[in-house]
Structure 1
Amino acid sequence: MKTFAAISLFIFTGIFTALFFGFDLSEAAEPLEYDDEQEGLEDEVVIKFSHVVAENTPKGKAARKFASLVQERSNGEIKVEVYSNGTLYNDQNEYTALKNGHIQMIAPATSKLPERFPKWQVLDLPYAFPTYEAVRQAYEGEIGTTLLNDLEEDDVKGMTFWYNGYKQVTSNKQPLTVPADFNRTHFRIMPSPVIESQFQALGASTSKLPFNKTYTNLEVDFIDGQENTPSNVYSKKLFEKQKHMTISNHGYLGYVVLMNQAFWKDLSEEHQTIVLNAMSETTNWVRRHSIEMNDAYLRQMKREDSIEVHYLTSEQKELWKQTFQPVYEEAEHIVGNRLIEKLYELQEQYE
């Protein structure tokens, strides 16, 4: 009991001393000292930019370059926070997160848009673009303008198209050089009706899986193969779970950069100009360098000898095109005659 009383007395004495001698109430009433490092933080504009690929890919590097340009040209007034590898949202829920304002910018593959905007299927048609210049003309011409304008109906700002490269197919069963090789195989695809029809024409079944789940599903043999660019195949180590890659160039994988419309409208005119100029410079940069990156990753996979690379002959490529013809006929009713006609014009120009 005496011990308890002693402890209580000690605590009371400490509190009394602190109250009367330890605090200078006059100092406590003074305003906090100014910290110049905090200046401007309340006015800083933060753009959360979420994407699902690795940083060492065309899109990953473009996102970082864009963020750096915006930071520099706004003198730190705008900060772009880049979240790669699906760390915030995967490719199945990032659009909803953008719409809800949880993030301000995304750059999904154009193949992720057709479920909401059917006309976007035109970009997924097999062998749509014979050359890289044809892709550029599609993105910067009437096709691209028409597609970006469609987004306004959903209160989403379409900023620009970013480039990656031509898609190739991989398999852990056998080389895929003729359509018959796809019979009774199971492929991971992006959620585009045209891509689904493409694999159906080849005789394969499909599953629409998030990109960041592809490796795991290859590892457990739920899927036999997938289609993607060399940069994505290498950066996600998909080649480690595949025995064969066919350089088919059967489709082009590009991205559309989207921003939350309300957020965009709230930006000052000065900040909008900074963002647009940085976006334009980044787009030109990734268009030039994406080809180099994909070629470099393809060479690296060949050196590592983890996957056997096959090239289509002219005869085999023509057989693929013939097999895909019904896909065009089916898509034309959805995409519309105008966009299909513009696509045919590009094909005639660059074949």
Structure 2
Amino acid sequence: MRNFFIILSFIVAGITSAVMVGFDIEAMTSDIYYDDEQEGLDEQIMIRFSHVAAEDTPKDRTTSKFAALVEDKTNGKVKVHIYPNATLYNDANEWEAVQNGSVEMIAPATAKISEHYPKWQILDLPYAFPNYQAIEEAYEGKIGETLLKALDRSKVKGLSLWYNGFKQITNQEYLIRTPDDFNRLHFRTMPGVVIKEQFNQLNASTSTISFSKTYQNLEVNFVDGQENTLSNINTKKFYEHQQYLTISNHGYLGYGVLINRDFWNSLSPDIQESITEAMNEATSWGRRHAIEINDQHARELRSNQPMNIHTLTTEERFQWEQALQPVYEKTKQTVSSELMKEINRIKEKYAY
């Protein structure tokens, strides 16, 4: 019994001492490995941005600008992870990926959106845009607003239209100068009714091939040629299997920037506002720098690559426009008269 009282007195003394010195039981039960540098990481929002263009192209550089602006405007709360060069999804499956939330953002060519929303075909009309000012008026005016609004009831939200450059023609057979030179050649194209009809009018056949697989198809001569911007032709090294380049400026390649709608709706209003501000600034930056980037690649192609390059004369350009005029008539069947009037107004406003 005496031993029991001795043990009990030690226990009471221990508890009394703990109370007197402020023994913190809650602290003892907390995570002893807590690192204050990790605080807030669980709350960080990650945006996976997948695209198919190579580095040092207008799309990739504008995406990088957007990512930096988002991180800055949200004080690091939102982080944009960029997956370029089809490392995550290619242009054949990125649409499904953003629809089901496997990725938060993509920036497909406008032609690829026209597969799902025919109004977007308006941007693929040949020779619709005489210069860069015409592009800006279309993208940031009534046409751009109408096309982005067309996505309102879809699983994606349209944030902006981004810039790249005018499309040119390459092939491996001979130099193309006139519409007749297209006869019986086989071209890789993006999907899109207008683009397919363009080559139909030129008596050329087409195959729809994803951008990431274009080089391989040129390499094995499955197709004779393709159309693209100078930045894409250079960064993807199409010149290794395309001897002839025609500077035609017959169409414009731009992108629709899309974000998964459920993801967007899950964001707080202040985060949405910051992303919108970043998108607007990145779009403006991309518009200013896309011309410069393509000019840089044009110089590299002319000075470093063994391509035979021809720029259409005024007379040759006129022949192309006349040969492609029926494309407008067929497009009227799927695109509203309001949009057609607007595209024709812009075309006339900036005509040479």
Q: Tell me the residue number matched to 1:176.
A: 176
Q: Tell me the residue number matched to 1:294.
A: 294
Q: Tell me the residue number matched to 1:185.
A: 185
Question: Contact 1:98–1:106 (CA<8 Å) still a contact in 2?
Answer: yes
Question: Contact 1:198–1:327 (CA<8 Å) still a contact in 2?
Answer: yes
* Distance across 1 between alignment mates of 2:303 and 2:32: 61
Q: Tell me the residue number matched to 2:280.
A: 280
* Distance across 1 between alignment mates of 2:243 and 2:74: 48
Matched-pair identity in %: 52
Displacement, 1:75?
Answer: 1.3
Give unmatched runs, 5+ long, in structure 1.
Answer: 1-27
Paired letter, 2:288 = R
Q: Tell me the residue number matched to 2:151.
A: 151
* Distance across 1 between alignment mates of 2:106 and 2:121: 19
* Distance across 2 between alignment mates of 1:105 and 1:183: 39
TM-score, normalisation: structure 1: 0.91
Displacement, 1:315?
Answer: 1.0
Question: Contact 1:111–1:190 (CA<8 Å) still a contact in 2?
Answer: yes
* Distance across 1 between alignment mates of 2:41 and 2:259: 22
* Distance across 1 between alignment mates of 2:305 and 2:231: 16
Q: Tell me the residue number matched to 2:216.
A: 216
* Distance across 1 between alignment mates of 2:57 and 2:201: 30
* Structure 1 residues 1-351: aligned runs within 5 Å: 31-351=31-351
Displacement, 1:32?
Answer: 3.0
**Residues 209-248 of structure 1: per-residue CA shift (max 9 Å, x gap):** 0001000000000010000000000011111110110000
**Residues 298-325 of structure 1: per-residue CA shift (max 9 Å, x gap):** 1101101321110111111111011101
**Residues 290-346 of structure 1: per-residue CA shift (max 9 Å, x gap):** 001101101101101321110111111111011101111000111121101001110
* Distance across 2 between alignment mates of 1:116 and 1:279: 23
Moved over 4 A (4+): none
Paired letter, 1:210 = S
Q: Tell me the residue number matched to 1:23.
A: none
* Distance across 2 between alignment mates of 1:131 and 1:217: 31
* Distance across 2 between alignment mates of 1:30 and 1:124: 61
* Distance across 1 between alignment mates of 2:140 and 2:184: 39
* Distance across 1 between alignment mates of 2:318 and 2:90: 36
TM-score, normalisation: structure 2: 0.90
- Give the match's secondary structure for 1:315: helix
Displacement, 1:108?
Answer: 0.5
Question: Contact 1:240–1:307 (CA<8 Å) still a contact in 2?
Answer: no
* Distance across 2 between alignment mates of 1:61 and 1:349: 31
Q: Tell me the residue number matched to 1:13.
A: none
- The CA RMSD measured in Å over matched residues stands at 1.3
Displacement, 1:30?
Answer: 6.3
Q: Tell me the residue number matched to 2:14.
A: none
Paired letter, 1:162 = W
* Distance across 1 between alignment mates of 2:29 and 2:44: 29
* Distance across 2 between alignment mates of 1:54 and 1:305: 18
* Distance across 2 between alignment mates of 1:269 and 1:162: 24
* Distance across 1 between alignment mates of 2:200 and 2:282: 37
Question: Contact 2:175–2:244 (CA<8 Å) still a contact in 1?
Answer: yes
Aligned length: 325
- Give the match's secondary structure for 1:334: coil
Paired letter, 1:327 = V
- Give the match's secondary structure for 1:151: coil
Question: Contact 1:165–1:254 (CA<8 Å) still a contact in 2?
Answer: yes
- Give the match's secondary structure for 2:254: strand
Question: Contact 2:239–2:305 (CA<8 Å) still a contact in 1?
Answer: no
* Distance across 2 between alignment mates of 1:37 and 1:234: 43
* Distance across 2 between alignment mates of 1:62 and 1:178: 35
